[in-house]
């Protein structure tokens, strides 16, 4: 398991004329040494806001690009509607953005979902809409495999919590029942693909995030070849956390085996009512923990803490460093970032 050797709080906005607002419900991917950040919502005006009021924040415009080597931000306009709670995945050729939505005026905790999908071709730098049977989902999670197939699980659709796994084969979407979550659906989880075959589902809640009993306390996998689900082991009850895969191999004799780690940062698990610095009361539970899960041994390890507690933030792995940005904590929309340095294997 990797060791957490040190961390650094960097205000990646100080001294920069071009800078993004703090946000949550955004998406991030890595393209070479550049982190691309899309959407999410920023802090609403006013003080002493409730969680309900915070969920009505304005949606952030455009695409932000962070150069991990130069510590610089660049903002670009995009040719499709801004959104929150979408998913964004990429491979060597394309970037895909799917779903998300805009706040439901009657209850801004929920969204009016989009059913569109957009593809960016890296070779020509152009976005185009993929017009097919796209599901109308938001706050779902997605991964892409080597064949360019996209797997999207959970979140919400126009009918409520989504209980399905959607698979995009490059042309159309196929809907499968997500067997472990067919009763109440799941959201706030993470998806990580290992060996280009097994999708690991960690955390999330199958109900209200104020209800501890509704949290997913197990680690599940979905085998993309056999289309079967498997309960791997116990997990850590969290939602709104992030997951990043660290590729590792273990040699036993002359054979190399997968020994990947999944690094979990932040998230939320309800505790008690607390007041923020403005005096507004919120249900506490945002965490600052960093955990590692080894996919070979199915063992968990506590690795350390973030500088700040964060939920619905982003974390991207690049050059053995985790770049963490944004997120939410009892009324705070964090504008600062953290770089977590990962050490050698132990």
pLDDT tens readout for residues 239-259: 999 999 999 988 888 888 889
Q: Rounded to an integer, what distance in angstroms lies between the CA atom of residue 104 and that of residue 158?
A: 11
- Cβ count within 10 A of residue 122: 14
Is residue 108 very low, low, confident or very high in pLDDT (cuts 50, 70, 90)? confident
On the question of pLDDT at 17 being above 80, the answer is: no
Percent of the chain, pLDDT > 90? Answer: 83
Q: Provide the mean pLDDT of the chain.
A: 92
The secondary structure of the chain in percent helix, strand, coil, rounded to multiples of 5, reads 5, 50, 45
Nearest one of 343, 165, 140 to 261, comparing CA atoms: 343
Instruction: Tell me, rounded to whole angstroms, the distance of Cα 18 from its chain centroid.
Output: 24
The pLDDT of residue 5: 44
Domains of the chain: 2-345 (2.120.10.80)
Q: Rounded to an integer, what distance in angstroms lies between the CA atom of residue 245 and that of residue 291?
A: 12
Q: Rounded to an integer, what distance in angstroms lies between the CA atom of residue 227 and that of residue 155?
A: 20
Q: What is the pLDDT of residues 27-74, one digit of tens each?
A: 999 999 999 999 999 999 998 898 889 999 999 999 999 999 988 899
Cβ atoms of 196 and 145 closer than 8 Å: yes
* 312 SS3 class: coil
């Amino acid at each position: 398991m990797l060791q957490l050797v040190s961390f650094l709080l960097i205000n990646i906005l100080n001294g920069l004329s071009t800078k993004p607002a703090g946000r949550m419900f955004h998406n991030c991917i890595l393209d070479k040494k550049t982190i691309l950040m899309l959407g999410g919502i920023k802090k609403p005006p006013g003080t002493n806001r409730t969680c309900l009021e915070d969920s009505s924040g304005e949606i952030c415009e455009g695409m932000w690009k962070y150069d991990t080597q130069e510590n610089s931000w660049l903002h670009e306009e995009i040719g499709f509607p801004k959104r929150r709670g979408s998913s964004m995945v990429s491979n060597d050729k394309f970037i895909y953005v799917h779903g998300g939505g805009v706040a439901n005026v009657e209850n801004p905790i929920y969204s009016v979902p989009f059913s569109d999908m957009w593809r960016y071709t890296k070779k020509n730098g152009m976005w185009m809409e993929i017009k097919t049977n796209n599901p109308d989902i938001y706050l779902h999670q997605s991964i892409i495999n080597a064949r360019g197939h996209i797997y999207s699980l959970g979140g919400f659709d126009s009918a409520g919590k989504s209980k399905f796994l959607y698979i995009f084969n490059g042309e159309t979407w196929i809907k499968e029942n997500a067997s472990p979550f067919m009763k109440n659906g799941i959201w706030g989880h993470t998806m990580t693909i290992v060996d280009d075959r097994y999708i690991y589902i960690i955390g999330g809640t199958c109900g209200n995030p104020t209800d501890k009993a509704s949290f997913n306390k197990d680690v599940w996998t979905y085998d993309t070849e056999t289309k079967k689900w498997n309960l791997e082991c116990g997990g850590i009850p969290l939602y709104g956390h992030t997951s990043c895969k660290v590729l590792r191999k273990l040699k036993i004799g002359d054979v190399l085996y997968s020994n990947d780690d999944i690094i979990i940062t932040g998230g939320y698990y309800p505790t008690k009512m607390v007041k923020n610095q403005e005096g507004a009361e919120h249900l506490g539970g945002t965490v600052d923990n960093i955990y590692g899960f080894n996919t070979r041994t199915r063992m968990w390890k506590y690795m350390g803490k973030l500088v700040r507690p964060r939920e619905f933030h982003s974390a991207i792995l690049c050059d053995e460093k985790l770049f963490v940005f944004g997120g939410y904590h009892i009324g705070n929309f964090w504008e600062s970032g953290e770089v977590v340095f990962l050490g050698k294997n132990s």
